């Protein structure tokens, strides 16, 4: 076994995490190095170097490497993209300038629109036109395309996006324009909208294509630097990148379609939750990831994470209310559906001018950090509140790396909040936690109830440094019976990089009424997508036996615009298949919106195919079963505040690493490990499963 190791490198804003799994033993090792935003490749290579050195593993023994990176997103947010040109239909060159014609904030007289990624003088309209059936109305003015190519070359542009109206129905003009541009400007990197996002609604398609084009040179340079250095250091591993959808693709594919990896990092956490749920037989999981600045909730149904295509790059906190869009740059590629809110350990508590206690959205971040870090922060944070309530151990935060100062936390809450509210510090500290909990419960509801899922059918998988502190309470509020806390919750996201499959997503616009649909035509379309997907996986060295194809269709009632994505069975599509899908659609519509209209015509908008190259997953290591019982794992007893206990109660504190499989104990209890703390409330029991996961359920209830 020469290539028994898998390596994951996750580049975050502050740290670059490396995770190394030994496929034979299931051992997982972790290393952290500071990120290097100026040149993230430096941090990447330092992290990989460090973990291999620490574990004594030679680079040639790594068979598989997956990278999670925000390099594409950062390029967009920081405006640090390649000079790009846009070629579009004559009369529509201002698509990016006009965008949706809305103001991002309703009551702000001083609002700004995000500046277009392609300046207006590099957006060129070309005479050509298709109608809404894809028929040519105006032929492509080929010479004008050549002229435009020459002009963009003179402008010093490196990347070109091409987006013609209705090209999702008929790509001929775009493909021809691509050829002509290559003729006159062979060095240019060209992205065609019919390749990147072949779906209707021109602004969304153009925006997606432009982002792809504009980050391609940056991503290509970044990934090829890493690849060269890894090869020079004797790495033979397959090099892969995490996509926003939760699958991985090769460095080569990422360099073609980097817009598919904008949300590379957050997807990893959801994939880890998917994997952990799968190992334990839970196919319906809500993932909850709480870190220093935000909390993110995702939903996994039937073993697959939910993905969305409504996403704007450059927007920090998201929820999905009816409010205005237009803060960022929309993309129409699949992104793991996350509800992200500004509630993390560093979120600041404050009293507003109306005398009400608030939490967030401002965060103390890592600098100055919560007051209790003693790094100069004076604003009380959620972490400070948890510390004052006894939930965090001042001497064992990050395994003792940061000594927490309870007095500073207490004073911060007192000075900034408690005095103004005229309440005692403990009541206010508990209030801070409750307000944050309510916001996070809302995030869990948004990602489930609002999408038509009942959270009571799901298991909560909670991770991130702060997730397990709050998870038990959140689950109860959301009606979730079972909460799973994986081992080392602080590095669960990094684990997610190593438990994914190769994935390629394809779609084709159909725009046909269900009652006029020709089943063989649908089958042919899926076959074509399948051929593309299988070919891509073959190139990546996947055996035909390991290929899985998922067919889906975006559907709506004729006249609606927001589609529901319905799964189709594999196998030849016939009239019976279509009827079954249509029935399922009516049902799903009723679930999502509270009504269906079986008498109304429905429409197949897009056909989607996901080609998955299954990759063997690492085994989880069994937890020691005789290492100790709950007595030997008991570190101490200390007073911890529980509102339901009427204040401080004596609470046992357990060392997670000494908890044996099969151990069962009742709350109130605290379980500590270096990168996180699990709080178990009175009325709940915790069980340790064979892998060391903690399962929290109501006392008297059975874990499902």
Stretch near other proteins under the rule CB under 8 A, chosen from 97-105, 286-294, 378-386, 678-686: 97-105
- Sequence-distant contacts of 225-233: CB under 8 A, at least 24 apart: 225/41, 226/41, 226/44, 226/45, 226/67, 226/251, 227/251, 229/41, 229/45, 230/45, 230/48, 230/59, 230/65, 233/49, 233/59
Among 33, 211, 435, 609, binds other proteins (CB under 8 A): 435
Q: Which is nearer to other proteins, 456 or 539 (CB)?
A: 456
Size (the chain), residues: 704
- Residues with Cβ within 8 Å of 464's Cβ and at least 6 positions away in sequence, in order, are 269, 288, 289, 290, 291, 295, 489, 490, 492, 493, 676
Site for other proteins, residues 634 to 693, rule: CB under 8 A: none
Say whether residue 201 binds other proteins (CB under 8 A).
yes
Site for other proteins in 204-223 (CB under 8 A): 204
> For residues 178 and 153, is the Cβ–Cβ distance under 8 A?
no
Nearer to other proteins, 15 or 203 (CB): 203
Pairwise CA distance, residues 58 & 4, whole Å: 11
CA distance 439 to 480: 16
**Interface with other proteins includes 151 (CB under 8 A)?**
no
CB nearer other proteins, residue 434 or residue 546 = 434
Out of 539, 562, 580, 647, the only residue in the binding site for other proteins (CB under 8 A) is 562
Q: Are 438 and 445 in contact (CB under 8 A)?
A: no
Q: Which of residues 54-93 bind other proteins (CB under 8 A)?
A: 91-93
Alpha-carbon span 164 to 91, nearest angstrom: 11
- Of 237-296, which residues contact other proteins (CB under 8 A)? none
Counting contacts by CB under 8 A, is residue 593 touching other proteins? yes
CA distance 248 to 270: 13
316 interacts with other proteins by CB under 8 A:
no
Stretch that binds other proteins, among 98-106, 189-197, 494-502, 521-529 (CB under 8 A): 98-106
Task: Say whether residue 315 binds other proteins (CB under 8 A).
Answer: no
Residue 232 interacts with other proteins (CB under 8 A): yes or no: no
Tell me how far apart the alpha carbons of residues 636 and 634 are, in angstroms, rounded to a whole number: 6
Q: At what angle do helices 172-184 and 142-154 cross, to 10 degrees?
A: 50
CB contact at 8 A, 473 and 382: no
The answer for 596, left when phi > 0, alpha when psi is -120 to 50, beta otherwise, is: beta
User: CB-wise, 131 or 234, nearer to other proteins?
Assistant: 131
559 lies in the site for other proteins, by CB under 8 A: yes
Contacts for 576 with CB less than 8 Å, ≥ 6 apart: none
Residue from the set 36, 105, 225, 308 that interacts with other proteins by CB under 8 A: 105
- Which positions from 506 through 525 interact with other proteins, judged by CB under 8 A? 511
> Nearest distance from residue 431's CB to other proteins, in Å?
4
Write the DSSP symbol of residue 571. Answer: S
**Among residues 39, 54, 78, 97, the one that binds other proteins under rule CB under 8 A:** 97
The least distance separating other proteins from the CB of residue 558, rounded to whole angstroms, comes to 8
Determine if 319 is a binding residue for other proteins (CB under 8 A). yes
Q: Which is nearer to other proteins, 204 or 219 (CB)?
A: 204
Work out which of 224, 450, 512, 591 binds other proteins, going by CB under 8 A. 450
Q: Does 595 bind other proteins (CB under 8 A)?
A: yes
Segment lying near other proteins (by CB under 8 A), choices 68-76, 131-139, 404-412, 678-686: 131-139
Q: What is the 3-state secondary structure (H, E, C) of 158-175?
A: CEEEEECCCCCCCCHHHH
Q: How far is the CB of 312 from other proteins (least distance, A)?
A: 13
Q: Does 327 interact with other proteins (rule: CB under 8 A)?
A: no
Given a contact cutoff of 8 angstroms between Cβ atoms, the answer to whether 307 and 563 are in contact is no
Which of the ranges 275-283, 457-465, 558-566, 645-653 carries the binding residues for other proteins, by CB under 8 A? 558-566
In the range 538-557, which residues lie near other proteins by CB under 8 A?
557
Residue closer to other proteins by CB (options 352, 702) is 352
- Quote the strand ranges of 436-586, DSSP E: 459-463, 482-485, 502-513, 547-557, 564-568
Query: Does position 586 bind other proteins by CB under 8 A?
Result: no
Q: CB-hemisphere CA count at 13 Å for 516?
A: 9
Return the number of the residue (248 or 564) whose C-beta is nearest other proteins: 564
What are the angstrom distances between the C-alpha of 290 and each of 199, 308, 466, 624, 676? 34, 21, 5, 28, 11
Structure tokens at 617: 């997953």
- Size, binding site for other proteins by CB under 8 A: 73
Q: Does 136 bind other proteins (CB under 8 A)?
A: no
Instruction: Count the helix, strand and coil residues of the chain and give each as a percent rounded to the nearest 5.
Output: 35, 30, 35
Instruction: Report d(CA 281, CA 272) in Å as an integer.
Output: 14
Q: CB-wise, 198 or 496, nearer to other proteins?
A: 198
Which CB sits closer to other proteins, 124 or 694? 124
Closest approach, Cβ 267 to other proteins, in A, equals 23
Q: Which is nearer to other proteins, 224 or 511 (CB)?
A: 511
Q: How far is the CB of 437 from other proteins (least distance, A)?
A: 9
Only segment of 316-324, 465-473, 621-629, 669-677 that touches other proteins (CB under 8 A):
316-324
Residue from 58, 102, 316, 575 in contact with other proteins (CB under 8 A): 102
Query: Residue 589, CB half-sphere, CA atoms under 13 Å: how many?
Result: 20
Asked if 423 is part of the footprint of other proteins (rule: CB under 8 A), the reply reads yes
Q: Which of 11, 243, 293, 442 is the binder for other proteins (CB under 8 A)?
A: 442
- Contact set for other proteins, span 339-378 (CB under 8 A): 352-359
3-state secondary structure of 116: coil
Among the listed residues 5, 168, 641, 684, the single contact to other proteins using CB under 8 A: 168
Q: What is the CA radius of gyration of the chain?
A: 26
Q: Is 574 in the site for other proteins (CB under 8 A)?
A: no
Contact range with other proteins by CB under 8 A, out of 42-50, 116-124, 463-471, 544-552: 116-124
Residue from the set 56, 156, 281, 322 that interacts with other proteins by CB under 8 A: 322
309 near other proteins, judged by CB under 8 A:
no
Residues forming a β-bridge with 273: none
Alpha-helical runs (H) found in 374-507: 382-388, 406-413, 419-421, 425-448, 467-478, 492-496
Q: Which residue, 450 or 703, is less far from other proteins as judged by CB?
A: 450
Question: Which residue do the tokens 């307000």 mark?
Answer: 435
Strands 238-242 and 248-250 come out as: antiparallel
Considering only 20, 82, 95, 542, the residue that binds other proteins (CB under 8 A) is 95
Site membership for other proteins, residue 321 (CB under 8 A):
yes
């Amino acid at each position: 076994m020469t290539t028994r190791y898998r390596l994951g490198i996750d580049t975050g804003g502050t740290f670059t995490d490396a995770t190394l799994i030994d496929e034979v033993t299931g051992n997982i090792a972790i290393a952290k190095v500071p990120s290097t935003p100026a040149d993230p490749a430096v941090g990447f290579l330092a992290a990989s170097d460090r973990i291999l050195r620490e574990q004594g593993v030679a680079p040639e023994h790594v068979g598989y490497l997956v990278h999670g990176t925000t390099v594409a997103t950062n390029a967009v947010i920081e405006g640090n993209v390649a000079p790009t040109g846009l070629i579009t239909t004559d009369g529509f060159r201002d698509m990016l300038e006009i965008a949706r014609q809305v103001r991002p904030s309703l009551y702000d007289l001083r609002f700004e629109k995000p500046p277009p990624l392609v300046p207006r003088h590099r957006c060129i309209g070309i005479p050509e036109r298709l109608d809404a059936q894809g028929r040519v109305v105006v032929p492509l003015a080929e010479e004008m395309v050549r002229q435009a190519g020459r002009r963009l070359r003179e402008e010093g542009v490196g990347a070109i996006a091409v987006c013609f109206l209705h090209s999702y129905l008929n790509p001929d003009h775009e493909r021809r324009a691509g050829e002509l541009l290559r003729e006159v400007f062979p060095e240019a990197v060209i992205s065609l909208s019919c390749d990147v996002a072949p779906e209707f609604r021109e602004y969304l398609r153009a925006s997606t294509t432009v982002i792809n084009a504009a980050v391609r040179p940056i991503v290509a340079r970044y990934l090829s630097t890493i690849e060269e250095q890894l090869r020079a250091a004797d790495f033979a591993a397959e090099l892969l990148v995490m996509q926003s959808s939760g699958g991985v693709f090769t460095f080569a594919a990422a360099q073609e379609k980097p817009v598919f990896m904008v949300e590379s990092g957050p997807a990893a956490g959801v994939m880890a939750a998917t994997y952990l749920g799968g190992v334990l037989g839970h196919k319906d999981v809500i993932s909850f990831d709480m870190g220093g600045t935000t909390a993110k909730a995702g939903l996994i149904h039937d073993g697959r994470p939910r993905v969305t295509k409504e996403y704007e790059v450059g927007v920090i906190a998201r929820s999905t209310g009816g409010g205005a869009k237009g803060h960022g740059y929309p993309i129409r590629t699949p992104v793991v559906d996350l509800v992200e809110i500004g509630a993390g350990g560093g979120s600041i508590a404050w009293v507003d001018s109306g005398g009400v206690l608030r939490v967030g959205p401002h965060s103390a971040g890592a600098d100055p950090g919560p007051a209790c870090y003693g790094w100069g922060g004076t604003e009380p944070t959620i972490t400070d509140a948890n510390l004052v309530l006894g939930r965090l151990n001042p001497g064992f935060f990050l395994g003792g790396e940061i000594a927490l100062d309870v007095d500073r936390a207490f004073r911060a809450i007192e000075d900034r909040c408690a005095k103004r509210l005229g309440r005692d510090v403990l009541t206010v500290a508990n209030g801070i936690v409750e307000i944050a909990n309510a916001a996070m419960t809302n995030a869990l509801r948004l990602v489930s109830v609002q999408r038509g899922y009942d959270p009571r059918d799901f298991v909560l998988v909670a991770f991130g440094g702060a997730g397990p502190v709050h998870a038990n309470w959140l689950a109860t509020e959301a009606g979730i019976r079972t909460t799973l806390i994986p081992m080392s919750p602080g590095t669960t996201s990094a684990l997610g990089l190593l438990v994914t499959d190769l994935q390629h997503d394809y779609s084709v616009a159909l725009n046909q009424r269900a009652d006029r649909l020709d089943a063989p035509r649908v089958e042919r379309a899926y076959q074509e997508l399948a051929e593309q997907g299988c070919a891509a996986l073959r190139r990546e060295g996947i055996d035909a036996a390991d290929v899985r194809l998922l067919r889906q269709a975006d559907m709506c009632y004729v006249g609606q615009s927001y589609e529901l994505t319905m799964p189709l069975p594999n196998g030849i599509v016939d009239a019976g298949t279509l009827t079954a899908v249509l029935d399922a659609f009516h049902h799903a519509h009723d679930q999502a919106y509270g009504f269906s209209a079986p008498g109304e015509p429905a429409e197949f908008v897009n056909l989607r195919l996901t080609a998955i190259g299954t990759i063997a997953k690492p085994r989880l290591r069994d937890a020691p079963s005789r290492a100790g019982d709950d007595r030997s794992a008991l570190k101490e007893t200390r007073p911890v505040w529980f509102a339901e206990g009427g204040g401080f109660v004596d609470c046992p504190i357990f060392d997670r690493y000494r908890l044996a499989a099969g151990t069962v104990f009742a709350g109130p209890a605290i379980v500590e490990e270096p990168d996180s703390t699990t709080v178990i409330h009175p009325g709940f029991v915790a069980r340790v499963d064979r892998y060391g996961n903690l399962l929290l359920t109501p006392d008297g209830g059975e874990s499902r």
